[in-house]
Amino acid sequence: MVTASERTSGAGTLHQETGALTGAGAAELPWIEDTGKVAPQDARQLSKLFLDRLQMLEEGTHEFQYARNTLIEMNLSLVRFAAARFRNRAGDDTEDIIQVGTIGLIKAIDRFDLSRDVEFATFAVPYIVGEIKRFFRDTTWSVHVPRRLQELRVDLAKAKEQLSAELDRDPTVKELAARLDLPEEEVIEGLVAANGYSAGSLDSPSADTESSKEQRSYAELLGEADPGMETVENLHALAPLLQKLDDRERRIVQMRFGQEMTQSQIGAELGVSQMHVSRLLARIVQQLRVGMSVEA
């Protein structure tokens, strides 16, 4: 946004160097104290004068800066007019939309040519709207989708609105495909991708319950991983590996992990030392772990 200090930075110099400007064959620009008080009709006439002078001034001078910044301020109403078209989509980003639209206005000022014999407002509005649309296209999707599907979403929204008015009901996929002359698969893909445009909060209440007192948030309704499932999966993977052990090894595994016997108790049962049982268990467990890794 142009500040008052930026716009007035060339004001004093402009009046002091009037003679130099006149000598260059150009009329002196009027000093506008408050651009917000300039009527739209007057702004249109003044814009022509400032645009004409802007093409004669050297870029980087105080006079050029004053003319350019005053043009921006006088035509901010065009930005607000264009931004109003997006008020339903802007939400809390209204100020951002104005800023983005102002960038489009500045581009229009820098690229406008009086020889085109077209009103500046007619020339500037497409630039402003284009910047705003680019802002929505690039920043407001909650989930990134290809540009093709972003553009398809806009076409689908227009077609759906038109068909709803004509049919007095929501159109089917087949009807949308016929209106847009697209395959039904592509229309379905576009409708699914449109869900990525905005995301709802997990803390928002679910609409599944009729009573507001019984409503719970979506986060409360989401399931979570059952820790027991991993145990079940491991047992299924372990079963064929246990079958590959010999009878003595399976008996050791059963006593240690099934009956939870100590190594000393297992050694006494088998008639071997506790140290030998430890080595046997280590070898068996390592063999099973390798088998589990291969299965995974």
Is 160 found in the same domain as 49? Answer: no
pLDDT of residue 24: 39
Is 163 found in the same domain as 58? Answer: no
Structure token digits, residue 112: 């406008």
pLDDT of 20 strictly over 60: no
Polymer length of the chain: 296
Higher-pLDDT residue of 141, 291? 291
Structure token digits, residue 241: 């590996």
Is 89 found in the same domain as 54? Answer: yes
Is 117 found in the same domain as 9? Answer: yes
Q: How many CB atoms lie within 10 A of CB 104?
A: 24
Helix axes 147-167, 184-194, angle to 10 degrees: 100
**Do 66 and 8 form a contact (C-beta atoms < 8 A)?**
yes
pLDDT of 74 strictly over 50: yes
Q: Please choose, from the candidates 248, 246, 295, the residue with its C-alpha nearest in 3D space to the C-alpha of residue 276.
A: 248
Q: Which residues of 264-295 are buried (b: 16+ CB within 10 A; e: fewer)?
A: eebbeeeeeeeeebeebbeebeeebeebeeee
Cα separation, 92 vs 21, whole angstroms: 45
Q: Does any domain span residue 62?
A: yes
Is 129 found in the same domain as 37? Answer: yes
* Mean of per-residue pLDDT scores for the chain: 77
Is 238 found in the same domain as 194? Answer: no
Q: Please choose, from the candidates 26, 90, 91, the residue with its C-alpha nearest in 3D space to the C-alpha of residue 63.
A: 26
Is 157 found in the same domain as 34? Answer: no
Amino acid making up residue 41: Q
Higher-pLDDT residue of 79, 118? 79
**Which CATH number do you get for residue 239?**
1.10.10.10
Cα separation, 65 vs 219, whole angstroms: 54
pLDDT of residue 26: 40
Cα separation, 263 vs 282, whole angstroms: 12
Mark which of 89, 110, 139 sits at the end of a domain. 139
- What are the tens digits of pLDDT across the range 160-210? 889 998 988 988 999 999 999 989 988 888 887 776 555 555 565 655 544
CA angle (166, 172, 174) in 5-degree steps: 105
Amino acid making up residue 233: E
What is the Cα gyration radius of the chain?
37
DSSP 118: -
Q: Give the pTM.
A: 0.43
Is 247 found in the same domain as 188? Answer: no
pLDDT of residue 228: 72
Q: Does any domain span residue 208?
A: no
Structure token digits, residue 133: 């649309």
- Among 108-122, 195-209, 237-251, which is the least confidently predicted range? 195-209
Is 281 found in the same domain as 155? Answer: no
Range of the domain at 50: 4-139
Residue pointed to by tokens 């680019």: 134
Mark which of 139, 154, 178 sits at the end of a domain. 139
Mark which of 139, 155, 186 sits at the end of a domain. 139
Is 114 found in the same domain as 166? Answer: no
- What are the tens digits of pLDDT across the range 119-170? 888 889 999 998 888 887 666 555 556 667 767 877 888 888 899 989 889 8
Mean pLDDT of 254-266: 90
Cα separation, 273 vs 107, whole angstroms: 89
What is the total count of domains within the chain?
Answer: 3
Is 111 found in the same domain as 23? Answer: yes
pLDDT of residue 57: 84
Helix axes 274-295, 227-243, angle to 10 degrees: 110
Q: Please choose, from the candidates 54, 82, 58, the residue with its C-alpha nearest in 3D space to the C-alpha of residue 68.
A: 54
Structure token digits, residue 118: 């077209």
Is 124 found in the same domain as 163? Answer: no
Q: Does any domain span residue 225?
A: no
Q: Does any domain span residue 110?
A: yes
